[in-house]
Structure 1
Amino acid sequence: MAPSKRSNKAAKGQQTPKQPPKPKGPAIVRDAVALSKLIEAIGETPGGKRSLSRLARTCKAFTEPALDVLWRELDSIVPIVGLFPGHLLKKTRRPGLGFSQAPKDEDWQTIINYSQRIRKITYDENASNVSPAIFPILDECRPMLYILPQLQELTWKVETHAALERCTIFLNPSLQSINLEVGAKLPKLNDFLADMSSRTKLKGFTFVSPTSLPDSFTELLIRQDALEKVVLVAPGALAPGIGRWVASLPELKHLQLDLTGRSPIAVEGFFDELRLRSGDATPSSVGSRDSGVFSGEEFDFTEIRKSALRLTGDLPPKGSFVSLKKISLTGEVANIAVFVKHLESDLVHLDLCIEDPPDKADWQDLCEMICDRFDTTLQSIRITATPSSKFADLVRSTSRAEPPTARLSLEKFAGLRKLLRFEVDLPESVVFYPNDIKALAKACPNVEIVRLCPLARFPLPHSPKITLEDLVPLISGCRRLNTLAVVCNAGGGSEKLLNSQHASSKSLLRLHFGHSWANDPLQISIFLSHLAPGLELLKFFQEKTRPGYIETHAKAWQTVSEILPHLQKVRESEKSFIELPLPELELPDTCDKGIDATPQTRSFGVSAQVQTEEEGIQFSPELVSCGVEAMIETCEMSIDATPQVQEIAIEAKPVTVSTAVSAMVQAEDPFHKATPTSLPPTVYIISSLLSFLTFAYRFTTFPFAYTSRLVQLLLGRSKIENRQTQETVEQPKSPVVGEFLVNGHGSTLEDDDSIPLETLPVRQ
């Protein structure tokens, strides 16, 4: 049965996708990390920059990593100026002479491309290889804010204030370290430090000057609280204020100070202000200046008390620099011992630059102090000489040379289990003895690199005190030793050492013998092939123009370097024979025999008592106190609570009753005046009642209507009098005794003369 079209399509869909093509070329080119490591290793070799320049011009794969290494560190700004087009420079082959015309924006394109590679740059005013007129042009014509945006370390060596100001164009936010070397006292140094501190956030700061530090040095650098490395080589660097500022840096890892020419009391003054409220105000305290006597002119007893307690060992130390890992000190051994005594941090690296030769007692005290305080943390020790001590080394290269006699004893070193690197490079103390090698091998069993004055010279007839056999305890005892540099009197090894397997070290790869002596090249080669069968590099001084060159020994070492590789191959082949399986041998004829093999036994008892130890563990839980702030959110609201008011008018009309009473009296003589007769009692009662009501109404409304009622009453009375006069004259009627209109006012009024009630006030 033929397969369907659908099944054919499914089969095609199940085909594996095509794999991308593998990159071509060697593996070292494909791996970017391995390639960068290789380029860096080439750059560190003699003539490495020239080799990298050739690689960058030869192979495209090497161009970018080679340019990164070549432009990463510059010892001058001349290469940067040389990137401008040639027509802008006064001399193309000498860019440091300056510009003939100002560059434009398009002329900066090459500098912008290369500026991303520069990480470190150095400027030295005394070199005089850069014209001062270059800096103003760079500052005015730059097309971007920062000329070197990726710059991390800046080294500036100046003598004048104008040269110091040129540094500002290279200050950018990415800058991590500034090394400032000032040769003279500058008047505006404080302004520069304030500007630098406000524009950067540094991790390393170096200040080297023969003049004293500014008075406000700590205030100017108060913003730099992230410093990890501080180098102060200037007078005033041991002031108590400087010590307090350095100790307050929380991230400080590396500290370098110069203790040359200072007294031990001045060195201790560096730690005086580290502990506040130490009780120095009391007369009984060590640091108090009060003698306990009430006097206007008191004597300062501080130094006397400190000196007395220092002699007895009762002076309390001041702990400081807890996070410090590396320290570099320069000066006398006694001052270094005083400074190290106050440190309570776990030092990892110790770099000492001492006056050579040191005092024997002070050196032994320093060695014991180092081993006692940093035995569990110290990983490297480096001991060099001050510039003043190297003068003797220069004299030794002349005809007035004297044999070296100073010895740097290593017998006091002990218990440095973590030490990996031990280096000594001194011009005078170059004499070592076999006991020093044994003590070093016992004290540092895990050491990897040992250098014991490899540049030392021993003119005839004085020879080195160490032989090649004396190095066996160090080579066999330190199983991680890979680099050894020492000057010795080499010779053949004894038969016992050649037959000893423990005298051979597989880890030893590099040997540097310097100006060592060599007697028998063949015996030395045989012994070295046994001591270091995996040796890769044998170095010695063979330059004829080098001071201390002895032609006989140089030729002997040259012979050793030629013979040694062949002997190593012979030893490797001999070792390979041991690993081959043995051939099968024919078994001889055998016969059976019986042997009484009853073992003899003995019974004995062993008292096994378990040794117990009691240990107490102090357990203290870590407590964290937390506070919760509970605040009630409130809001303010206003409510209009104005009551609603309505005005209501009530018409109050009192009910009035009008009563008229007619009283007529018969008159005998019309021309005589009518005399009223007496009225009935009912009329009087009604009149009295009305008068009472009228009085009550008046009493309630008197304050409001007194005036109006008075006017109305007067008007009413005048009308009544006029009316009576008219009636008397016109119509002689029967005499009317009286007619009363009783109303609210008790007056006799007509209807037209009544007072409207709307005008009366109504009390609610």
Structure 2
Amino acid sequence: MASIPPLGYASTVNRVLEIPEIIELILEFLDLGDNARNALVCKRWSEICLDLLWRKVDNLPRLFSLLAPLHATRDGIYENFDRTLNLDDWRRFGRYARRVRTLTHAEGGEAMRTELYLGQAVFDELARSRTSLSIVPNLHTLHWRSDRLRPSVLFMSTTVRHFSVQLPKFTGQFLFDFFEDIAERMPFLTHLDLSFELPVRNIEGSLVNLFKKLEKLKTVVLPLFCLSSRVFEGLSILPSLGTIQFEYMEQQGRGDERDVQPFSPVLQEGAFPNLWDLSLSADLPDMIRLLNRSYAPTNLTTLYIHMLTPTQPSVISDFLVTVSEVCKQLKKLYLELFVPKNSALPAIDRLSWADLRPLLSFNQLSVFELRLDLALDISQGDIEELAAGWPSLEVLYLNNEPMPLIGGEASPLTLRALIPFAQHCPKLRELGLYLSGSIEDPNSFASTKNGLHLTLEPFRELVKLCVGVSSISEPASVALFLSQLCPLGCEILPGVSWPDGVGVVQVGHPMAQDIQRLSNEWYEKWNEVGRFLPLLTHLRMEERERRRALQEEVEDLRVRCKLLEERASLPTSELDGSCVVL
């Protein structure tokens, strides 16, 4: 028999479904086809669904077909409209264009075969017939990846705040004029993302001039090797700039490493008043000199350094000391060295804990990631000192991905290295270590108290354990040990995160094939640990619960026995004949 809903239930549901924000939250989970049909339900739903359908546009032919049918060639290229556009077309188009907030256009390569390419005649007709300067009047974000930059000007307006663009390989007056368009048509940009594949020295003057005119910029993203001294100086005068970063991704492009060597910008008073997140490629001696100069960016909370060359441990230590003294508010620090394939490496010493000890002098640092070519010279005692002295640690990657054939001996650290972090770092969410994943007795690290076997204290917040290129022998015993430390849901992540073209086994090395084979075997065994671990962790949790209940019961019995012993020791004259309830 069907249950009867409570009195007033239907009216409450109706009132809730009259709230546009709630309807939108529900409809956001549906695909475009479903929302196209939902737009026909009623007027209220129509407005909400049309907003969802056109809020993000990544298909310009679909958008412009609202004006008039597009004529496509056999190659799938839309070369022009079937007819001349008129005022009625633009009035109809306006109902949908005002809803667009994000527009993405990518062409060239694969896009030439996916029917996204628009002929120049289409853009010419749009520019000729439009009834207002802004085709998409409420556009907030514009992504443009095409060698044809001029059509993007049609979508530039004062409402755009985020702009990403792929620049062509050729430079000259055209590129200068395009930068002028950006500054004049989108003066309130807050996020600028530039992708290009050319030396930044070829466009430094135009770039600096563009930055000076975009006073509202908060975030700037550039390709690798493109934050030169001159560009850095140009960015330093922006009053609202908070983030400078680069990307390793191939689609972001890259410049010439020579443009950032040396890195020696000269900053003026008032430089970088709001900069908090800085990512750049530089040699550490250059960074030490920069931070020790007047007007250096001292308000950083996040600092990422892509080291250009292998660096002596003493220089890394000096850098850490300098940063701890200058950047008092720093919370996240990343140091990475990616060695190009088959590159010649200078003879340097391995980094030790003595060189990294300045990390403990940071006031607020909670995230530290270190990636070097050589494995660290670090012991179990060093790990215990690190963990005990850094209780606020949240993320630590301690060079868990050294290059296989460089210092290729096994790591001196075993799984025991995890124990101090579990004991002393209650906020730790991610941990990366280069280990020797071997253990004979999974319970050998557990302690005893009063003759009772005690389990290890598990991590409280750990969600990722990254083992990189760590070796491993027996997956079952390793998984059994980790089940004592890792909380349910913790991922075991083997392998490497090196960018393309770096961090690979040197092809010419006589042991290259053996190392590659061992690395693949270790990777598969760590994945096997990851498959075992959830079940074993769940069983450990049940075991801990039973142990806790047993300990509570034993303690209760101990209290009762003590009470009985105390009563039995009393003289008979003091007993009143009452019963003791246990």
Match of 1:684 in 2: none
Match of 1:692 in 2: none
* Aligned mate of 2:192, from 175, 199, 205: 205
Code of the residue aligned with 1:349 in structure 2: it is: T
* Aligned mate of 1:23, from 8, 13, 26: 13
SS at match of 1:473: helix
Aligned pairs for 1:312-323 within 5 A: 320-323=271-274
* Aligned mate of 2:416, from 456, 460, 469: 469
Q: Percent identity?
A: 18
Task: Give the Cα separation in 1 of the matches to 2:374 and 2:472.
Answer: 22
SS at match of 1:372: helix
Q: How many residues align?
A: 498
Aligned pairs for 1:45-194 within 5 A: 77=59, 80=62, 88-90=70-72, 96-99=77-80, 101-102=82-83, 104=85, 106=89, 113=96, 116-119=99-102, 121=104, 123=106, 129=112, 130-133=117-120, 134-140=122-128, 142=130, 145-156=133-144, 163-180=148-165, 181-194=167-180
Distance 1:434 1:142, change over 3 A: farther
Matched, 1:570 2:535: no
Task: Give the Cα separation in 2 of the matches to 1:66 and 1:480.
Answer: 42
TM-score, structure 1 as length reference: 0.53
Q: Deviations over 1:573-627 (max 9, x none)?
A: 2333324764887968935349xxxxxxxxxxxxxxxxxxxxxxxxxxxxxxxxx
Match of 1:371 in 2: 324
- Which structure is richer in relative contact order (CA contacts within 8 A, separation 6 or more)? 2
Matched, 1:270 2:266: yes
Q: How many Å apart are 1:485 and its aligned residue?
A: 3.5
Task: Give the Cα separation in 2 of the matches to 1:465 and 1:58.
Answer: 63
Q: How many Å apart are 1:480 and its aligned residue?
A: 0.4
Task: Give the Cα separation in 1 of the matches to 2:203 and 2:93.
Answer: 41
Matched, 1:238 2:229: yes
Task: Supply the RMSD in Å over aligned alpha carbons.
Answer: 5.1
Q: Deviations over 1:462-492 (max 9, x none)?
A: 5444322123223332210122234432123
Q: How many Å apart are 1:169 and its aligned residue?
A: 0.8
Q: Deviations over 1:267-305 (max 9, x none)?
A: 44532xx25xxxxxxxxxxxxxxxxxxxxxxxxxxxxxx
Between Structure 1 and Structure 2, the one with more strand by share is 2
Which stretch shows the higher mean deviation, 212-221 or 482-491? Answer: 212-221
Q: Deviations over 1:14-59 (max 9, x none)?
A: xxx95663439x99x99959968996xxxxxxxxxxx977997999
Match of 1:560 in 2: 529
SS at match of 2:72: coil
Aligned pairs for 1:648-727 within 5 A: none
Q: Deviations over 1:53-82 (max 9, x none)?
A: 7997999999999998998777x6557568
SS at match of 2:330: coil
Q: How many Å apart are 1:370 and its aligned residue?
A: 1.4
SS at match of 1:151: coil
Q: Is the 8 A contact 2:483 2:537 kept in 1?
A: yes
Code of the residue aligned with 2:289 in structure 1: it is: V
Distance 1:31 1:220, change over 3 A: closer
* Aligned mate of 1:332, from 272, 277, 283: 283
Task: Give the Cα separation in 2 of the matches to 1:452 and 1:79.
Answer: 49
Match of 2:366 in 1: 420
Matched, 1:254 2:243: yes
Distance 1:229 1:66, change over 3 A: same
Task: Give the Cα separation in 1 of the matches to 2:378 and 2:64.
Answer: 55
Matched, 1:505 2:496: no
Task: Give the Cα separation in 1 of the matches to 2:126 and 2:385.
Answer: 59
Code of the residue aligned with 2:244 in structure 1: it is: L
Q: Deviations over 1:212-253 (max 9, x none)?
A: 3465765665443222234567889534xx666533322121
Code of the residue aligned with 2:215 in structure 1: it is: D
Matched, 1:532 2:503: no
Q: How many Å apart are 1:373 and its aligned residue?
A: 1.8
Q: Is the 8 A contact 2:260 2:281 kept in 1?
A: no
TM-score, structure 2 as length reference: 0.68
* Aligned mate of 2:341, from 385, 388, 391: 391
Matched, 1:517 2:471: yes
Q: Is the 8 A contact 2:104 2:143 kept in 1?
A: yes
Q: Deviations over 1:318-370 (max 9, x none)?
A: x7423221112112222232223332522111122222433434322222211
Greater C-alpha radius of gyration: 1
Match of 1:495 in 2: 444
Task: Give the Cα separation in 2 of the matches to 1:511 and 1:337.
Answer: 32
Q: Is the 8 A contact 1:415 1:443 kept in 2?
A: no
Task: Give the Cα separation in 2 of the matches to 1:118 and 1:79.
Answer: 17
* Aligned mate of 1:357, from 290, 294, 310: 310
Task: Give the Cα separation in 2 of the matches to 1:55 and 1:188.
Answer: 44
